[in-house]
Amino acid sequence: MQATLLQRSLAAVWHPCTQMRHHASGELPLLAISHGKGAWLYDTDGRRYLDGISSWWVNLFGHCNPRINAALKDQLERLEHVILAGATHEPVVALSERLGALAGGALGHCFYASDGASATEIALKMSAHFWRNSGQAEKHGFLCLAGGYHGETLGALGVTDIPIFRDAYAPLLRPAAVLPSPDARQGASPLAAAECAATALEQHLAEHHEQIAALIVEPLVQCATGMAMHDPDYLGRARALCDRYRVHLICDEIAVGFGRTGTFFAHEQAGIRPDFLCLSKGITGGYLPLSVVMTTDTIYQAFYDDATARGFLHSHSYTGNPLACRAALATLDIFSQDAVLVANTAKAERIDALLRPLAAHPQVRHYRRRGMIFAFDVDADAGFGRRFHRAALERECLLRPIGNTVYLMPPYILDDAEIEQLCRVVGEALDAALPE
């Protein structure tokens, strides 16, 4: 008998972020996806799943979007890839210009990579190298926030504070100082939590700023730790403190950029600009791996020199891949042609109206939302998340709680019926996953 796709996958593919034995035991289902359309994924047995988590927060405008498909088909006939050291091409130039304009002209220099973690690495290296080029080589320490997540390569893990991802590799990491998070759940009010975290930042900077290159934050929502949300006030305070103590502010918008929090970039809600802005995930509409670090002219000029070693000698083979850049341009076209942020405001209100009643559930804590991200915590045992995941799949929805935090981060193209189904299934799966 021929092996199924699932059997072949379990034999040959080491799946990410997974204890593979949980697949073998059936505790964690493995979906064999044959195709996707709009917000739906279809498996090889003909079952379908509404993608409530945008395939790991990347998909914005649905699977197999006709407009992004068309742009990619056109690009395929022109240029699939070219080395970006010593060569350039229209998609990477146009994308850099458009991203620069979207950031108000303040971050006009774009450095590309493939995944989110590589953008984190680049921002950290660029910051420390800036200080070295500026005659302050001792400024090479980093600050990050409790519960923060910036990727899983060693440099990125060094500024990540999630034990399950970090602990096994702790001896390999160069530690950063972990400061209190402004997580709104931890204060008497979101503003009080922001103020408290900013006070801790100020105290740390006052004492250590001479050794510190940069503070890295996930603006407004610390996603991977369980959708911890904070008030924009924290970002304003952090920006002012970084200016006062001459420390860079790195905004990691890999998960929260591209409209997820309601504005195109999350940091806009604080009326600030970072020194480095890291973007990935939604940048290609969820099609291809692409990340970018955007930075200021001041940073760029510190590397601009006759000496090669003062340049930023960092590269990845697929840096600025033309296909990925074309997908990104098509994604930006959809944003402007369809007034997506305006439409999302109404969609987010509808989702909120349907989900918010769950806040009254006796085992639900801290219902929260920001833009198109919705979350709540559940008082339950450690197995809750997996039971919820399975219960949602049985009801045609792909949802993966983080620990005991249930969240929605759907693609932006859901229609009313899909919104209704997703929200109904959240309630049903919650009841199904809680013990009687």
Ligand X SMILES: Cc1ncc(COP(=O)(O)O)c(C=O)c1O
The distance of closest approach from Cβ of residue 265 to ligand X in the complex, given in angstroms and rounded to an integer, is 13
Estimate the crossing angle of helix 384-394 against helix 416-433, to 10 degrees: 140
Residue (387 or 412) nearer to ligand X, CB = 412
Q: Report the residue number whose CB is nearest to ligand X.
A: 116
Contact segment (CB under 6 A) with ligand X among 199-207, 218-226, 348-356, 386-394 equals: 218-226
Contact segment (CB under 6 A) with ligand X among 109-117, 121-129, 301-309, 389-397 equals: 109-117
Q: State which of residues 43, 51, 252, 377 lies at the interface with ligand X (CB under 6 A).
A: 252
The distance of closest approach from Cβ of residue 360 to ligand X in the complex, given in angstroms and rounded to an integer, is 30
Ramachandran quadrant class, 54 (left: phi over 0; alpha: psi -120 to 50; beta: rest):
left
Contact 379, 365 (CB under 8 A): yes
The distance of closest approach from Cβ of residue 281 to ligand X in the complex, given in angstroms and rounded to an integer, is 6
Residue (111 or 149) nearer to ligand X, CB = 149
Asked if residue 367 binds ligand X (CB under 6 A), the reply is no
Return all residues near 346 (Cβ < 8 A) that are at least 6 apart.
none
The distance of closest approach from Cβ of residue 218 to ligand X in the complex, given in angstroms and rounded to an integer, is 5
Return all residues near 211 (Cβ < 8 A) that are at least 6 apart.
138, 139, 140, 141
d(CA 39, CA 177): 40
Residue (152 or 377) nearer to ligand X, CB = 152
d(CA 429, CA 32): 22
Q: For 180-247, where are the E strands, in sequence order?
A: 212-217, 221-222, 228-229
Asked if residue 117 binds ligand X (CB under 6 A), the reply is yes
C-alpha to C-alpha distances, 179 to 90, 148, 183, 219, nearest whole angstrom: 42, 10, 12, 15
Binding mask 40-59 for ligand X (x = CB under 6 A): --------------------
Binding mask 342-361 for ligand X (x = CB under 6 A): --------------------
Residue (142 or 391) nearer to ligand X, CB = 142
The distance of closest approach from Cβ of residue 114 to ligand X in the complex, given in angstroms and rounded to an integer, is 8
Contact segment (CB under 6 A) with ligand X among 46-54, 248-256, 313-321, 355-363 equals: 248-256
In degrees, to the nearest 5, what angle opens at C-alpha 295 toward C-alphas 291 and 296? 165
Q: What sign has the CA pseudo-torsion 95, 101, 106, 108?
A: positive
Write the single-letter amino acid at 66: P
C-alpha to C-alpha distances, 416 to 347, 348, 422, 426, nearest whole angstrom: 8, 11, 10, 16
Residue (160 or 296) nearer to ligand X, CB = 160
Binding mask 148-187 for ligand X (x = CB under 6 A): -xxx------------------------------------
d(CA 1, CA 4): 9
Write the single-letter amino acid at 430: L
Locate 244 and state its tokens: 């006062």
Q: State which of residues 51, 115, 231, 268 lies at the interface with ligand X (CB under 6 A).
A: 115
> 259 in helix, strand or coil?
coil
Asked if residue 255 binds ligand X (CB under 6 A), the reply is yes
Locate 304 and state its tokens: 């601009």
The distance of closest approach from Cβ of residue 417 to ligand X in the complex, given in angstroms and rounded to an integer, is 29
Binding mask 373-392 for ligand X (x = CB under 6 A): --------------------
Binding mask 276-315 for ligand X (x = CB under 6 A): ----x-----------------------------------
Residues in contact with ligand X by CB under 6 A are: 115-117, 120, 149-151, 218, 223-224, 252, 254-255, 280
